[in-house]
A = this chain, B = another copy of it.
Amino acid sequence: MRIPIRLSEDSAEPMYHQIEVQLRSLILSGTLPTGTLLPSIRELAQDLSCSIITIRRVYQDLENEGLLRTKQGTGTFVAAVGDTEREHYRTGAVAEAFRAAIDTAMRVHLSRGETEKLFYESLNAKMPDHEGNGGPNR
């Protein structure tokens, strides 16, 4: 199987982290359902043109998080993730990102209205709304 992961070469973000974030998303969003056999470390490393060590670390980290399960001599599988846990994970990361963004807004003294405006600008750009509800006061 081919895992859809895209790496940005010129980013300051460490390679292993980019991969982890994307793989975690694929698992938690259900795109890679429980039990899926992931590509071998060597395969994925070649696929992403990176070191085996880097992939090893990714699999290890995600196994430590309980998202993957490794069976000796067989391969690495997506572990069973409880729905509650999954839900918690999904919203947790996003809520954290919003908190960070709002912290930034507060640091430069944006008003609540300006903050909402910026949020909806980004939201409309990335998640177009087809029911005509593009802001808070409609």
Question: Which A residues are within 8 Å of any B CB, using their own CB?
Answer: 10, 14, 21-22, 25, 28-31, 64, 69, 72, 89-91, 93-95, 97-110, 112, 114-116, 118-119, 121-123, 125-127, 129, 133, 135-138
Contacts and interface: CB of A to CB of B under 8 A. Distances in A.
B100 A112 contact: no
Contacts of A93: 104, 108
Contacts of A112: 123, 127, 129
Given A29-B109, A95-B118, A136-B136, 18 more contacts: A10-B69, A14-B72, A25-B104, A28-B108, A91-B118, A94-B118, A95-B122, A97-B97, A98-B101, A98-B119, A99-B122, A99-B126, A102-B122, A112-B129, A115-B123, A115-B127, A133-B136, A135-B136
Each complex incorporates copies of this chain amounting to: 4
8 contacts: A14-B72, A91-B118, A93-B108, A94-B101, A98-B121, A98-B122, A98-B123, A133-B136
Nearest to A16: B73
